């Protein structure tokens, strides 16, 4: 029963993180023409402030200290996460936001692979199948605009790779008892320290609305980070990663509402396939949980 409750919490958190990250991508696009690293710096500067407050409040809780046992994984998570979101930002600025979100959703593939290799969480056949079906649905959304020969598309894939490595580290850190607030704080601080000097030497002045959109980007990113960190501490990647595809749906909705990017029948079919895959996998897991109870 407890395992089922954790899986349900993990699913809820991963969907909420998908919503936050899709909204973040919209604000990135609306912030206009600014260097990718400048957008990334302000995105995580806001997240750092929020994470610092939460970490201070929870500092006496277990798993809120950096130790010799967790420092290596924290660095790998922060490095992969920084590369991942910079690549994603680059793709979002130069592609349809639903296309860029889809490329970033290669992350569940990488997460499942890395989880199987490094923390020995092998997936069942129907879980692999569900992820593959969801990926096929995402391809229907992207259609001919998808081209791996373009730089933005390659960056989008690298963003998914970075996210996959980062999420695997989050899962491992969660199993080690490291608190989510510490994981988000370390990642945010790392990226701000790394990007700070670059932004200082290449800073582009911003309008009031660009400041507003980057602030909203940081707030949405903070929500996404905390929810995705919680998700992978509640449940393994094989149980919840497919639900991360809901970000493509949210991104398509935002593109249609705010950017006049209307989905066609192929895109609608892709959305339905993604939802169907998620619901089917959840029902199978629920039946398995009830049979073991």
Q: Output the six-digit token pair for 233.
A: 């501490």
**DSSP alpha helix (H) spans, the chain:** 2-30, 36-57, 71-94, 97-104, 107-118, 125-142, 151-175, 180-202, 208-234, 237-240, 246-258, 265-292
pLDDT tens digits along 78-134: 999 999 999 999 988 888 888 888 778 777 677 777 777 777 777 777 878 877 888
Residue 132 pLDDT? 84
Number of Cα atoms under 13 Å in the Cβ half of residue 202: 12
Q: Which one, of 215, 124, 114, 217, lies nearest residue 170 by Cα?
A: 114
Question: What's residue 168's pLDDT?
Answer: 87
Q: What is the pLDDT of residues 81-91, one digit of tens each?
A: 999 999 999 98
DSSP 106-137: THHHHHHHHHHHHS--PPPHHHHHHHHHHHHH
- Alpha helices (H) in 119-207, listed in sequence order: 125-142, 151-175, 180-202
pLDDT at residue 149, rounded to an integer: 53
């Amino acid at each position: 029963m407890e395992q089922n409750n954790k899986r349900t919490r993990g699913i809820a958190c991963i969907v909420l993180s998908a919503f936050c990250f899709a909204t973040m991508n919209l604000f990135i696009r609306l912030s206009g023409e600014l260097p990718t690293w400048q957008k990334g710096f302000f995105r995580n500067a806001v997240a750092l402030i929020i994470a610092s407050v939460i970490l201070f409040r929870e500092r006496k809780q277990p798993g809120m200290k950096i130790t010799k046992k967790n420092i290596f994984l924290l660095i790998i998570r922060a490095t992969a996460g920084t590369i991942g979101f910079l690549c994603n930002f680059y793709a979002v600025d130069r592609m349809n936001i639903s296309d860029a979100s889809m490329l970033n959703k290669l992350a569940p593939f990488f997460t499942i692979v890395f989880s199987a290799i490094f923390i020995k969480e092998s997936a069942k056949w129907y879980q692999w199948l569900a992820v593959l079906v969801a990926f096929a649905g995402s391809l229907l959304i992207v259609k001919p605009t998808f081209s791996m020969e373009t730089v933005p598309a390659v960056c989008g894939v690298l963003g998914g790779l970075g996210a996959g490595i980062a999420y695997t580290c989050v899962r491992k850190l969660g199993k080690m008892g490291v608190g989510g607030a510490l994981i988000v704080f370390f990642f945010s601080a790392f990226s701000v320290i790394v990007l700070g000097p670059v932004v200082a030497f290449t800073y582009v002045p911003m309008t009031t609305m660009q400041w507003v959109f980057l602030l909203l980007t940081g707030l949405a990113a903070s929500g996404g980070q905390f929810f995705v960190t919680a998700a992978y501490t509640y449940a393994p990647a094989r149980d919840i990663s497919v639900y991360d595809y809901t970000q493509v749906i949210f991104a398509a909705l935002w593109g249609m509402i705010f950017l006049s990017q209307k989905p066609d029948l192929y895109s609608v079919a892709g959305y339905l396939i993604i939802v169907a895959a998620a619901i089917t996998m959840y029902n199978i897991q629920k039946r398995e949980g009830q049979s073991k109870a």
